[in-house]
Chains A and B, each alone.
Chain A
């Protein structure tokens, strides 16, 4: 791909998509995952109508909320052709710090809790971003290292201490209980996050830059995109979102301690990949990642609802990830063929 055409071209496709008909809808990268989600929900509903009852819906959304926020942040990083393995550790450390703050500062306003959690997440995320961009070491290695370091710091800080829901004010816990129009408050927060980040990625200059960097880092640099600053921004945003997820985790779950959020990293990357975010960057949307997260968390509930042995759940998730990769590859081959044809016509 040449430098000159990359960012305007993607913008062009987007415009055509809004004006085009059925054909452009069929080309959407989010389509397979959306169809899979609809099919899953519909089939499960037919088998067990309680699945979409008021409580069932609420559980579905609550389970998905935290994964959605993390997947959106991870998608931003993956789109720049990087990856952040340390999100589970960031979530853990922020969740524990939230528990600590409530005990250390009685009566602290909840807004302040959110700001503190996101600031801590931003700090940890920017350490990742700084090491990746300044030291020029691949993000897979750096964030594997910080995964251990952040987890170790969390362990050192928490030790055997655990904070329980009783240590936190009721109004904070109520965020995951109260609903507006059937949506739990924390899910609404997640939806707002998805909308803001989606607009940022789709229609602002820095957002488009992230795609350009992911599709060809060298070309992006020659084109004059501040690659270092943009990649740093992606890691920082991911840190902020992981921090937010950590605060919401403390609201949603009873206990936070040294091992909170362990082993989340691959689930989150999987959600983004299932949602159509290409692992080597440059394509995919955060909306897709959010739907991917919703699909993966819904499978668990769906399997329980139709009384499939719960042990099958993880194997099915694995198959879904592989299916998403294969679908992505087929779509890519078809696009390449179409581009070749249209270029041949132009000549």
Chain B
């Protein structure tokens, strides 16, 4: 128990007791420095650097056609990453997002094939996604069941319902006007028209998370649930609506997926949940909750999307793509730990040299972290 209390504090408030080692370095900074050197901002720099590199050195990258295909590919992940960021910040998770997208896609196909008006079909599909999200919210927020287990269950359930709805059929004959709208571009820029909607959704989530009391409450909730209850944050209601939002946005992604590829199948978007979570975590959102930002998460999605796209342009096989995704994810979370460990070790060594008599490990550790505090 020779550790100074500042060392124990972050771990003590955490439910799993292993808060990532990035905490001490971020704690000391304030104001502009905190914004400019945060983990999520670093991801934005990485994205910008990579885009500049790709534009200069990768042939055919800097063209409207490339921009168009790149954005069309990342839109589903980009959409789902928004509510996922909020959910992970509160310390929960939603693994059922891709299944909700699949279920929406299946419903869309079957209802359209049954001859309903396309406007009505879209509304019903969106409502189905909201309902699926509300079901998750009921189990996680209202009944207080663990979200990891619950959403593994609903991952199977919603994908299963998609199969029940559409079986192994596929519906492809959507109105051409609609499907061509989903692949259309804004003039000669190559930016897909749908991006207007995506940006709008992103702005809504960004404002809600960063500029409203509700959003600030989510951070508090993720950092310490007890404290959040004490300061009067409505925990149950907040979490419930987050899952409803997640279901609705997943439904939007499912609708987009169906109309972009003009194919409604039960296995649409399967496996997307892992891609989204990997991208969000890469973008600096902490899996323990309490930390992260919408711009960071978007940068994470775009970085993985851009790297994949350039590798594909360079004819690199899909093999490397998934290795890159995995390595980036691990490197981004392990690097802060390693850097922290090295700084600690260097401090300890320096103090050993200057104070050779202080050999007790407790004393050296105390000075090491003491120095870090003063930094």
Give Cα distance in the complex from A139 to B281, angstroms. 13
Closest to B318 in A: A155
Stretch at the interface among A27-35, A166-174, A313-321: A313-321
Of residues 118 through 148 on chain B, the ones whose CB sits less than 8 Å from some CB of chain A are 139, 143-146, 148
Cβ-defined contact, B148 with A279, below 8 A = yes
Known: A152-B326, A217-B18. A138 touches B139 (CB 8 A): no
Known: A144-B274, A266-B155. A136 touches B21 (CB 8 A): yes
Residues in B neighbouring A314, C-beta threshold 8 A: 156-157, 159-160, 163
Cβ-defined contact, B160 with A313, below 8 A = yes
Other 9 A-B pairs with CB < 8 A, given A270-B156, A314-B160, A321-B157: A136-B21, A137-B337, A141-B287, A142-B333, A145-B326, A218-B12, A279-B146, A311-B167, A315-B157
Give Cα distance in the complex from A312 to B329, angstroms. 35
Give Cα distance in the complex from A144 to B333, angstroms. 12
**Contact flags (1/0) for A27-63 with B, using CB distance below 8 Å?**
0000000000000000000000000000000000000
Known: A135-B337, A155-B322. A140 touches B287 (CB 8 A): yes
Q: Give the B-binding residues of A (Cβ under 8 A).
A: 81, 83, 85, 131, 135-138, 140-142, 144-153, 155-156, 159, 217-218, 263, 266, 269-270, 273, 279-280, 309, 311-319, 321-322, 325-326, 329
The prevalent SS among residues of B at the interface is helix
Cβ-defined contact, B337 with A329, below 8 A = no
Residues in A neighbouring B16, C-beta threshold 8 A: 81, 138, 217
Known: A138-B16, A156-B323, A273-B149. A318 touches B330 (CB 8 A): no
Cβ-defined contact, B152 with A321, below 8 A = yes
Give Cα distance in the complex from A333 to B271, angstroms. 34
Cβ-defined contact, B287 with A322, below 8 A = no
Closest to A313 in B: B160
Give Cα distance in the complex from A319 to B317, angstroms. 38
Cβ-defined contact, A325 with B145, below 8 A = yes
Cβ-defined contact, B318 with A148, below 8 A = no
Nearest-neighbour CB distance to chain B for A70, whole angstroms, equals 15
Cβ-defined contact, B323 with A135, below 8 A = no
Closest to A219 in B: B17
Residues in A neighbouring B30, C-beta threshold 8 A: none
| Residue among B153, B281, B324 with max Cβ neighbours from chain A (10 Å) | B153
Cβ-defined contact, B322 with A151, below 8 A = yes
Cβ-defined contact, A148 with B156, below 8 A = no
Closest to B11 in A: A218
Cβ-defined contact, B21 with A279, below 8 A = no
Nearest-neighbour CB distance to chain B for A320, whole angstroms, equals 8
Residues in A neighbouring B194, C-beta threshold 8 A: none
**Contact flags (1/0) for B11-46 with A, using CB distance below 8 Å?**
110001110110000000000000000000000000
Cβ-defined contact, B95 with A266, below 8 A = yes
Cβ-defined contact, A217 with B17, below 8 A = yes
Give Cα distance in the complex from A342 to B12, angstroms. 29
Give Cα distance in the complex from A142 to B149, angstroms. 18
B116 at interface, CB cutoff 8 A: no
Closest to B266 in A: A311
Cβ-defined contact, B278 with A145, below 8 A = yes
Cβ-defined contact, A317 with B146, below 8 A = no
Cβ-defined contact, B329 with A315, below 8 A = no
Residues in A neighbouring B163, C-beta threshold 8 A: 311-312, 314-315
B334 at interface, CB cutoff 8 A: yes
B256 at interface, CB cutoff 8 A: no
Closest to B326 in A: A148
Residues in A neighbouring B313, C-beta threshold 8 A: none
B272 at interface, CB cutoff 8 A: no
**Contact flags (1/0) for B262-300 with A, using CB distance below 8 Å?**
000000001100100110010000011000000000000
Residues in A neighbouring B95, C-beta threshold 8 A: 266
Give Cα distance in the complex from A34 to B212, angstroms. 49
Contact partner of B157 among A149, A280, A318, CB < 8 A?
A318
Cβ-defined contact, A148 with B146, below 8 A = no
Of residues 240 through 263 on chain B, the ones whose CB sits less than 8 Å from some CB of chain A are none
Q: 6 closest pairs, A vs B, by CB?
A: A318-B157, A315-B160, A148-B326, A314-B160, A152-B323, A321-B153
Give Cα distance in the complex from A265 to B145, angstroms. 21
Closest to A218 in B: B17
**Contact flags (1/0) for B66-108 with A, using CB distance below 8 Å?**
0000000000000000000000000001010000000000000
Residues in B neighbouring A263, C-beta threshold 8 A: 270-271
B238 at interface, CB cutoff 8 A: no
B319 at interface, CB cutoff 8 A: yes
Nearest-neighbour CB distance to chain A for B346, whole angstroms, equals 18
Cβ-defined contact, B320 with A152, below 8 A = yes
Cβ-defined contact, B278 with A279, below 8 A = no
Closest to A86 in B: B326
Give Cα distance in the complex from A309 to B160, angstroms. 12
Give Cα distance in the complex from A316 to B157, angstroms. 7
